[in-house]
Structure 1
């Protein structure tokens, strides 16, 4: 188990800024992580939302982008929101994801690109049900047992959908957002299968509500834990396979107006570097939005106190404030100044790449506007609202 021994009682709470604050992590250069969820892929007019300004235009030190939300259905299908993941409407998403993965930082120990994860689950139930990925988890574990053949087969069918999606779209990891009752045994099995199939570099994260990581409520379920299983028990069983926890500090499950809840989680034994602080990027997404100034002060205090934290993840990109729908990257820009000011990801875009991105954008927009695939050339206004050619900075 990789819990940290309780430190809260012995910490110097009146710590002032020291040399620890904001120093680059030489052994783990991805820390502190700066992450964003990307669920809304098209704007209200059906135009695909470009991700490239997150790195190219604004020099934002993004480490992970989490594509949301994948759902496994009991009828043997998988969806990204309302469509299959390979639907043409997502052509821009997947093309730009490859480019983000090929970026690098201009500091020593570069990132090797933005890691692209897929978020499975969320508010829509079903992916972790007894008819899908939690099937047969309460059995004796013998998949050859005749009585367990039906449920075990249901798990295998569901897991095969997840595995194929990861392979086809070349994801660097998965974020498991369990917001429905699931057994501990089922989650342990899923984590182990992912690790066995995708190897040691594959990122496996979980996204509990923050209160699930602390105290009696978090361990026993109830209002403090939407997942059903005990996250402390999961950490003891397969903690070495889990890269970090994207804890949701909003919507009534804790907040980040100050450091008290994060401190309480550390007091429970969790390592600060394994807790990524989930925040709403706009008050339109729910309750518990914290303004940048207040949140920034809390983050700085935590980094002074613990030396480092796991980072920050924002839900979600498309209308993040202060820029809103016209400049949604400004949220991540402000987080870069707080978390990773010394790092700048760099993209290399050739003219051929820019021309292809323009064509792909038109396909995605045709589907986003409800048009038939292949009719983009008949639009009244086919021009992208992002200038890919202006991004060209490299020879073929």
Structure 2
């Protein structure tokens, strides 16, 4: 029964009703919501990506049902943060962080954090260009990095998911990750989101242009073996989440299963046509992986606004 408490909240999270979301109240923003089980004590991570901030009906999306329905979500990642050509021009999707469209979201973020949920930002993603801006001289790098750092601090983000889907040199993530660790300290969460195939071997299919094996070896605290990258939200889209073998292949390649989170699609409309795995099959896969690896890293869902729709 030890794995049941992970599977039950997973099912609740992925099947949450959009009608319930529409009826959610914002009156909870200044209230610590009582729950029977704390998020920070869950044995595995349950990560939810949020990129679309409207319901399928076009109405504003609330994050609070993730608390109200006791989904046991541990981390929420807001996507996507983009660095534009002008240093200091940084947008969450199409709008600056301070735009009125985000006012309710930032208030809800405070409530989530008060209840133990870690709220992070995704930097980069499928829209290219962000990491090209971080690939210059030291002066050029810091002209883009310092405004980003200021926003992370101002909006009290708990971490950053560095999602590199453009070809860059390994020095780009290394410089960024080291700077974040230096400036934000060891409690700041740094994750990355490669294709799952990029974790099977150094030559695995990859969107980033560098080896994640090499990056992870280099990205350590100077003078120690402590990893700077907290874990990897691997994109296990397609058949990769239809059973344990692909996760086993990654572990066999040398990765600690505690540092690998299985990223899946929450809805068939959220990615490639064959990328969606139904909850019943996903449940079987998680049950098997939890049986194989006591330290199974968890599951990440892309994305929240239509989670549970077919």
TM category (shorter chain) comes to 0.7 to 0.9
* C-alpha deviation, 1:59, in angstroms: 1.2
1:318-359 CA-to-partner distances (Å, cap 9, x unmatched) read 01114x7xxxxxxxxxxxxxxxxxxxxxxxxxxxxxxxxxxx
- Matched with 1:34 is 46
**1:195 to 1:277, Cα distance in 2 relative to 1, 3 A:** same
1:1-396 equivalent positions in 2, closer than 5 A: 21=3, 29-43=41-55, 46-56=58-68, 58-76=69-87, 77-103=89-115, 113-129=116-132, 132-135=133-136, 151-218=137-204, 224-239=205-220, 240-250=227-237, 255-287=240-272, 288-322=275-309
**Contact 2:56 2:305 (8 Å CA) reproduced:** no
* C-alpha deviation, 1:74, in angstroms: 2.0
Cα distance in 2 for partners of 1:270, 1:249 equals 15
- Matched with 1:343 is none
**Contact 2:202 2:211 (8 Å CA) reproduced:** no
* C-alpha deviation, 1:43, in angstroms: 3.4
Give the match's secondary structure for 1:156. helix
Cα distance in 2 for partners of 1:180, 1:31 equals 33
Cα distance in 1 for partners of 2:174, 2:282 equals 34
Give the match's secondary structure for 1:217. coil
* C-alpha deviation, 1:216, in angstroms: 4.5
Cα distance in 1 for partners of 2:143, 2:4 equals 46
**Structure 1 stretches of 5 or more lacking a match?**
1-18, 104-112, 136-150, 219-223, 325-396
**1:91 to 1:20, Cα distance in 2 relative to 1, 3 A:** closer
Cα distance in 1 for partners of 2:144, 2:249 equals 37
Cα distance in 2 for partners of 1:45, 1:305 equals 41
Give the match's secondary structure for 2:161. strand
TM-score by length of 2: 0.82
**1:180 to 1:20, Cα distance in 2 relative to 1, 3 A:** same
- Matched with 1:384 is none
Cα distance in 1 for partners of 2:2, 2:46 equals 19
Give the match's secondary structure for 1:300. helix
**Structure 2 stretches of 5 or more lacking a match?**
7-39, 221-226
Larger C-alpha radius of gyration, 1 or 2? 1
- Matched with 1:369 is none
**Contact 2:202 2:213 (8 Å CA) reproduced:** no
* C-alpha deviation, 1:44, in angstroms: 5.7
Cα distance in 2 for partners of 1:156, 1:70 equals 17
Cα distance in 2 for partners of 1:302, 1:270 equals 14
Cα distance in 2 for partners of 1:21, 1:54 equals 20
Which structure ranks higher in relative contact order (CA pairs < 8 Å, sequence separation ≥ 6)? 1
1:214-236 CA-to-partner distances (Å, cap 9, x unmatched) read 12432xxxxx1001111111111
- Matched with 2:19 is none
**Contact 2:159 2:189 (8 Å CA) reproduced:** yes
1:25-58 CA-to-partner distances (Å, cap 9, x unmatched) read xxx83430011001111236653211111112x1
**Contact 1:20 1:304 (8 Å CA) reproduced:** no
Which shows bigger deviation, 227-236 or 275-284? 227-236
**1:229 to 1:243, Cα distance in 2 relative to 1, 3 A:** same
* C-alpha deviation, 1:308, in angstroms: 2.7
